[in-house]
Structure 1
Amino acid sequence: MDPRTSAQDVMRCDLCETAVVKMHCDTCLVNLCTNCVGKHFSADLSKPHTIVDFKDRKSTPLYPECKFHNKQQCTMYCNQCGTSVCTKCLASDQHLGHKLSEILQVLDEKKEKILKEQTELNEIIYPTYQDIASDVQNRMSQLEKEYGDLSTAITKHGEDWHREIDKLVKKLKAEVDEMKNTQLQILQKHLDEINKTMADIKDEIDSIDVIEDCNNISKLFSITTNVDRYRNLPQKILPSLPKFGPGRINEELGKIFGTLSPSSLTLDKHGYSIKTTQKSPEAGSSPPVKQLLDEPETVVTIHTKYGKLYEVACLSDEEIWTSGNDKTMKLYSINQGSLLKSITTKSGNRPWDIAVTKSGDLVYTDNNDRTLNIVKNEKIEEVIRLQNWKPRNICSTSSGDLLVIMVSIDNIQIKVVRYSGSTEKQTIQFDDQGKPLYSSGGYFKYITENKNLDICVSDSEAKAVVVVNQAGKLRFRYTGHTSAPKNQSFCPRGITTDSQSHILTADYNNECVHIIDQDGQFLRYIDCGLSIPCGLCIDTNDNLFVAQFRKQKVKKIKYLQ
């Protein structure tokens, strides 16, 4: 058995290739038996061989050789020149006054940096690329569906045209048959008259043949013929055929039938974002880092006129929309607390949830009417009407899309649907194993989009905040924190996010607000004497607004420096 290639044999000396390895030269990286140590030393006296036990191999630093001084090892590092230096380099004037470090210290720092970068690649960048790949695959699947729908629409339009053309052809052919039959009837009548005349003429000819041998003079004088009448020949009837003038088939037909707008691929200037809480100081578009206040404080309290207050949505830093247990949606001044405007739902039902779009329009869902509606210039327009699903909670995204939580008619299935206008773009319902992401029953589920484009749903029935990425892939579930103020079970209701990508959710049972980071780590509670918090929203200055269910009051709370 060859000791150099067999994995079943013990390690052998690199010199004699027979004896068992006992020692190792860390300088030359050679395995040695005890008898060959001396031979290895004498083979190259120019090097300072470092012989260690085989089990301690690679424990001796292998210093780099100096580029300028032969057979000199570099034990120092010049930070200014960015190069390793030996003792002879230090004795020269080349690095005079430069800041020097021990090369082993530089090595440790380099290793630490590489390990950090490896961790970033493994835990942040690679998963981000996985999410991007999943997003692209979802876009491709959606593209396949939408192009299929487009082809189906064109086929259907073509079938409609074929039906209309067939009807037109049938109508024209019927008109041709009617014209033909009319003219044939006229010609047939004319032919019948000619045939009768011909019979009369034949009778006269036969009568003349009879008298040819007649000697009765009186009878001959009594016979008269109708030759004069027959000399007047009948009129000639010439039928005039209709002419078919086919419409010209050219490029105009395509315009009449319908045209396709050009397709395009655009690059989002914002691109994808790395899933990390670290803020890059060099990134000009990154929001400034804000720290959590030790003691959050109530800035103002707005009194509403609802019996029960459910939702709040920021229109601006001065105005908020609210909704409760009646059919009106009310706009309040934040600083003055005065009612500015009231909008009544189109159906007379209470709005299930409200949100403000990127363009500043109010949108609301009508659970009983199964519609999603938008208010423009105080006029309500129906955007979506559902058949087998009921719309519940809603949020507007940074791209201008709407995310809607829907529940099936039997209140069992739950899904999140992304709309661009009235067009369905994405459905989020199951995880990678095909299991539902959200619990059955959609009474208390709120939704928001984080700054990193994650989609966050507070699922009260599941006692969890469920966070998926933009592609709909599950990132984490937050199920509360052990030190809850009232020591009750976690019951999330309203949910919102701030400029720091913090996720804030109202805890109905513990009468507080949980703050977690974008990766689901608990940061702190906001209490401020809250009473049954329900809906939440954040203004552009990261002030938190909390709708209190029974007190019918909205609290504006400052919690970031």
Structure 2
Amino acid sequence: MDPRTSAQDVIRCDLCETAVVQMHCDTCLVNLCIACVGKHMISDESKDHKVVKFQSRKSTLLYPECIAHSKQQCTMHCNKCEIPVCTKCLASDQHLGHKLSEILQIADDKKDKIIKDLTEFNETIYPTYQDIASDVRNRMSQLEKEYGDLSTVITKHGEDWHREIDKLVMKLKAKVDEMKNTQLQTLQKHLDEINKTMSDIKDEIDSVEMAIDTNDLSKLFKVTSNVNMYKNLPQKLIPTLSKFIPEKIQEEKLSKMFGTLSFSSFTSDKHGYSIKTTQKSPETGSSPLVKQLLDEPETVTTIDTGYKYFLCNVACLSDEEIWTRGYDNIMKLYSINQGSLLKSITTKSRYQPSDIAVTKSGDLVYTDYNDRTVNIVKNEKIEEVIRLQNWKPYGVCSTSSGDLLVIMISDDEKQTKVVCYSGSTEKQTIQFDDKGKPLYSSYSYNTYYITENRNLDICVSDGGAKAVVVVNQAGKLRFRYTGHTPAPKKQPFSPVGITTDSQSHILTADFNNKCVHIIDQDGQFLRYIECGLSAPHGMCIDTNDNLFVAQGENRQVKKIKYMC
């Protein structure tokens, strides 16, 4: 904290370590009180000490020290030798006839270049790598789906056979899994390399920014940005999916007649990616790097769900269909375009579900607080996936990897945690921060909703804490968002439903203020969405970044377009 703007943080003299600092030596970068100035000046008489008021520190440029003549500062630059030179160098014959420039001009040219490089890093190269990483993740997700479809084809074909070929079915499915895992591992390794490069780019950016801000020209000249190195983009790996080729069922040669799998592989397109640009071209106009928020969000359609009491949540099955749940034991599937009811599912326990979500494979998943279970609906049949002891499930979401994240509350309602499940196997528990303090509030009729962001952060809407709590994939706290002022209705922040979009924005419904908050992936407030919302509660986003908001009191789902 700067002592010029705060009376709470006092900086002490570097010599006596007791008196308040009043002066500063720009030559030695030492803070001094008035009493210690003389002592510092005579401590090293070989230096030309530049002592200024503390408020004027860094006002004196630090010229590079000559490599040939000790304690001589270089004010000129030899263009032929490409080194700084001092007056003694100029008096010698070493640089006779060489073209010289003022070192300040060379420094300005250097700074202009690295500022240009920094701009290119921030505006084109790093965003391009972000897009590449997103493309690889999407391919991994698509690969999961397509291999799932492939397994389904094999399974359906196997249903026509008798019990004696079950072993063959399992063998082929295992082969599918092996090929899938091999290709996913290849893509994961590819993604890890991309993420490593992105980290290196960030380090480059930090180094360049530090060089720009420093007044030490020696440090400035040591900076060499490697923009061109990162323009050589990675290869674009495109997995070639295996196909199942069925044969007609015969009594002989079952193994051959059942069907075979073609080989899976990758094709490499090293020119598949290109550096993004925000400049306009004559043919295509501008190509924005990211979607932009609309100045005025607009309501596209409204769906009346017909619930009697209160509409709690909504989950997108597709761009055409949504699941809903309210204050009863029935979950309803609606057509978005028609606004018509397509299907109704009653919970297995007949209790009200606590939350709903849709898995990667398109199955409905719901938590049953009273029954202590997490359940999946497949082909209108309810399968119990998880049954808890001493804990009760609340919020749930499906991750990009196909796992389930479940918020749960202890029976004594004093503890809250997030648990990651692969099927019914517990993989990870998130409950405390680095200091051993609870990340989430204790339960007292509060609401808890959860979602995973595109950067794999885990985002929880904690109604008791009146905050959005965001941790990274390892469970380490990144930030807490506690609202923004002024709020539309000037009421305390009351977060309920939460979701994320393709730009890694985090959206949370604010029940009290009848609006939706949009923040970026680092917790910075961007804007509100109001659109005449009535008691907004649960939310979801479709693949086109349309927002669906469950309005509790009027039992309607509102579809809102807020990005272009």
Q: TM-score range by the shorter chain?
A: 0.5 to 0.7
1:327 is matched with which residue? 329
TM normalised by structure 2 equals 0.58
* SS at 1:505 equivalent: strand
Residue 7 of structure 1: CA displacement?
9.7
Q: Return the offset for 1:504.
A: 0.2
Task: Identify the match of residue 483 of structure 2 among 477, 480, 483.
Answer: 480
| Residue number among 318, 335, 340 corresponding to 1:338 in the alignment | 340
Could you list the per-position Cα deviations for residues 78-119 of structure 1 after superposition, in whole angstroms to 9, with x for gaps in the alignment? Answer: xxxxxx9xxxxxxxxxxxxxxxx9644321224546888999
2: distance between equivalents of 1:29 and 1:376? 74
1:270 correspondence with 2:191? yes
Q: 1:75 to 1:339 in 2, by over 3 A?
A: same
Are residues 63 and 30 of structure 1, via their aligned partners in 2, closer, same or farther at CA, if it must alter by over 3 Å? Answer: closer
Q: Answer whether contact 2:76 2:101 (CA < 8 A) is retained.
A: no
1:502 aligned to 505, 510, 522, which one?
505
1:105 is paired with a residue of what secondary structure?
A: helix
Partner in structure 2 of residue 410 of structure 1:
412
The match for 1:491 among 491, 494, 503 is 494
Show the counterpart of 1:72. Answer: 98
Question: More displaced, 314-323 or 262-271?
Answer: 262-271
Q: In structure 1, the residue corresponding to 2:357 is in which secondary structure?
A: strand
Residue by residue over 1:192-248, the C-alpha shift from the partner in whole angstroms, topping out at 9 and shown as x without a partner, is xxxxxxxxxxxxxxxxxxxxxxxxxxxxxxxxxxxxxxxxxxxxxxxxxxxxxxxxx
SS at match of 2:108: helix
Q: How does 1:44-443 map to 2 (within 5 A)?
A: 61-67=75-81, 71-75=97-101, 103-110=106-113, 112=115, 266=185, 268=188, 269-271=190-192, 284=273, 289-306=290-307, 307-441=309-443, 443=446
The answer on whether the counterparts of 2:376 and 2:382 sit within 8 Å (CA) in structure 1 is: yes
C-alpha change, 1:315 and 1:74, in structure 2 (3 Å) is farther
Q: Is the 8 A contact 2:468 2:480 kept in 1?
A: yes
Distance in 2 between the 1:311 and 1:357 partners? 16
Q: What residue is the counterpart of 2:472 in the other structure?
A: 469
Distance 1:517 1:29, change over 3 A: closer
Residue identity matched to 1:461: G
Distance 1:411 1:315, change over 3 A: same
1:72 is matched by which residue type in structure 2?
H
If the length of structure 1 is used for normalisation, what is the TM-score?
Answer: 0.58
Q: CA deviation at 1:11?
A: 2.6
What's the CA shift for 1:350?
Answer: 1.1
The 3 A distance-change label for structure 1 pair 344 and 110 is: same
Greater radius of gyration (CA): 1
Gap change, CA 1:27 and 1:333, over 3 Å in 2: closer
Q: Separation in 2 of the partners of 1:494 and 1:537?
A: 8
**2:77 is paired with a residue of what secondary structure?**
coil
Cα 1:21–1:497, aligned 2, differ >3 Å: closer, same or farther?
closer
CA distance in 2, matches of 1:382, 1:27: 72
Indicate how the Cα distance of structure 1 residues 320 and 119 shifts in structure 2: closer, same or farther if over 3 A, else same: closer
Structure 1 unmatched runs, 5+: 1-5, 15-19, 32-43, 77-83, 85-100, 125-260
**Structure 2 equivalent of residue 140 of structure 1:** none
Q: Distance in 1 between matches of 2:464 and 2:475?
A: 20
Which residue of structure 1 lines up, in the alignment, with residue 130 of structure 2?
Answer: none
Q: CA deviation at 1:288?
A: 5.2
2:295 partner letter: D
**Does residue 10 in structure 1 map to residue 48 in structure 2?**
no
Residue 558 of structure 2 is aligned with which of 523, 543, 555?
555
Is the Cα–Cα contact under 8 Å of residues 65 and 71 in structure 1 kept in the other structure? Answer: no
> C-alpha displacement at 1:29, in angstroms?
4.0
Helix, strand or coil at the partner of 2:302: strand
Counterpart of 1:506 in structure 2: which amino acid? Answer: A
CA displacement at 1:370 relative to structure 2: 0.3
- Does 1:540 pair with 2:543? yes
Q: In 2 relative to 1, CA 21–536 (structure 1 residues): closer, same or farther, beyond 3 Å? A: closer
Deviations 1:463-489 (A, max 9, x none): 110000000000000000011100000
1:270: how far off? 3.2
The separation in 1 between residues aligned to 2:387 and 2:289, in whole angstroms, is 41
Compared CA separation, residues 557 and 114, structure 1 to 2 (3 A): closer
Deviation at 1:408, TM superposition (A): 0.2
Q: Secondary structure at the match of 1:514?
A: strand
Q: Is the 8 A contact 1:327 1:351 kept in 2?
A: yes
SS where residue 107 of structure 1 aligns? helix
**Equivalent in 439, 445, 449 of residue 446 of structure 1:** 449
Displacement after TM superposition at 1:9 (Å): 5.6
Conserved 8 A contact 1:308-1:550: yes
The one-letter code of the counterpart of 2:399 is T
User: Alpha-carbon deviation of 1:67?
Assistant: 4.5
> Deviations for 1:244-300, whole angstroms, at most 9, x for unmatched residues?
xxxxxxxxxxxxxxxxx9999946243385699x9x997959995100000000000
Flag the 1:71–1:408 CA change in 2: closer, same or farther, 3 A. Answer: farther
Q: Which runs of 5+ in 2 are unaligned?
A: 1-38, 51-61, 83-94, 127-176, 206-229, 235-272, 277-287
d(CA) in 2 for partners of 1:30, 1:10: 22
* Structure 1 residue 491: Cα displacement: 0.3
Give identity over the alignment, percent.
64
C-alpha deviations, 1:499-533, integer Å up to 9, x for none? 00000000000000000000000000000000010
Q: How far off is 1:345 after superposition?
A: 0.7
Q: Residue 75 of structure 1 contacts residue 104 of structure 1 at CA under 8 Å; is this kept in 2?
A: no
Question: Retained in 2: the 8 A contact 1:372–1:384?
Answer: yes
Separation in structure 2 between the aligned mates of residue 556 and residue 28 of structure 1, nearest angstrom: 62
CA distance in 1, matches of 2:356, 2:457: 20
Residue in structure 2 matching 1:528, options 491, 506, 531: 531
Could you tell me how far 1:72 is from its partner in structure 2?
1.6
Contact 2:76 2:100 in 1 (8 A): no
Q: d(CA) in 1 for partners of 2:454 and 2:106? A: 43
Describe the shift of the 1:9–1:420 C-alpha distance in structure 2 as closer, same or farther (beyond 3 A): same
AA matched with 1:305: G
Instruction: Report if the CA contact (8 A) 2:359-2:365 is conserved.
Output: yes
Change in Cα spacing, 1:495 to 1:108, as seen in structure 2 (3 Å) is same
Per-residue displacement from partner, 1:40-73 (whole Å, max 9, x unpaired)? xxxx9xxxx9xxxx9xx85x64413414985524
With over 3 angstroms needed to count, the CA separation of the structure-2 counterparts of 1:513 and 1:30, relative to structure 1, is closer
Q: Given that residues 353 and 392 in structure 1 are in contact (C-alpha distance below 8 angstroms), is that contact kept between their aligned partners in structure 2? A: yes
Partner of 1:229: none
What secondary structure does 1:108 align onto?
helix
CA distance in 2, matches of 1:539, 1:28: 58
Alpha-carbon distance in 1 for matches of 2:402, 2:78: 58
Give distance in 2, aligned partners of 1:374 and 1:340: 18
Deviation readout 1:277-334 (Å, 9 max, x if unpaired): x9x9979599951000000000000000112100100000000000001111100000
